[in-house]
A = this chain, B = another copy of it.
Amino acid sequence: MSNVACLATALNPGKREQTKVANRLAILDAAREVFGELGYETATVRDIIRRTGLAAGTFYNYYRSKEEVFAALADDGAARFGPILRSLRGQGHSFEVFVEQAIGAYFSFIADEHRNWVARRPAGEPHLHVQGETPEMAAVFADIRDALAEDIARRKGPFADPDYMAAACIAIAREVGDKMLERRPIDTAGAAQFAVAMILTGLKGLPRASA
């Protein structure tokens, strides 16, 4: 903390709480960027700290490791997306409608995330190799995957191996989602339409397990 900032803190003692959430947010923001650019494995705690502007030790007052920040980020995504998904699942729609809405919600979420994340970045900084997936996206994706898998397993339809089915559906959702993010403008509706059609028709073509 510079002496100037230090003096300021001395004068406005009530700001403590603000600083705490501000620091937490700064770390989270920095981590999101770093993970997005470098990928989880390549990213280091130091990278995050550096972008934060905070002292090295401060990081450890909030999170104990890279894993923990990642988890916090993921939780955030899940926290924002969870309710949407839950309301979808509680409506008793047919499988078709559920898939349609879930995919739609997922694509909207990641498009949003992506936009915000890119937009928040100060212009002029190069950031050559944006890898592009934030922990939030990953977490939401995992949610969708679980929901799909569960739904597939639950509906004792005439379908084939539910494990494979879930794997195939989520694979489509993820890959098409990634491709979607690479294009300008980002067309969530088109991508969703594609993915849903491919999933639903694909599933119909599968040999019936019972047959």
**Taking beta carbons and an 8 Å cutoff, which residues of A are in contact with B?**
1, 3, 6-7, 9-10, 13, 39, 41-42, 160-161, 163-165, 167-168, 170-172, 174-176, 178-179, 190-191, 193-195, 197-207
Contact = CB atoms under 8 A, between A and B. Distances in A.
A198 B207 contact: no
A150 to B, nearest CB: 16
Contacts of A9: 3, 6
Given A9-B3, A172-B172, A207 B193 contact: yes
B204 A205 contact: yes
Contacts of A1: 1, 6
Main secondary structure of the interface of A (DSSP, over half): helix
Contacts of A160: 194, 197
A10 B7 CA distance: 9
Of A170, A172, A195, most buried by chain B (CB within 10 Å of CB) is A172
Contacts of A206: 194, 197-198, 201
A110 to B, nearest CB: 15
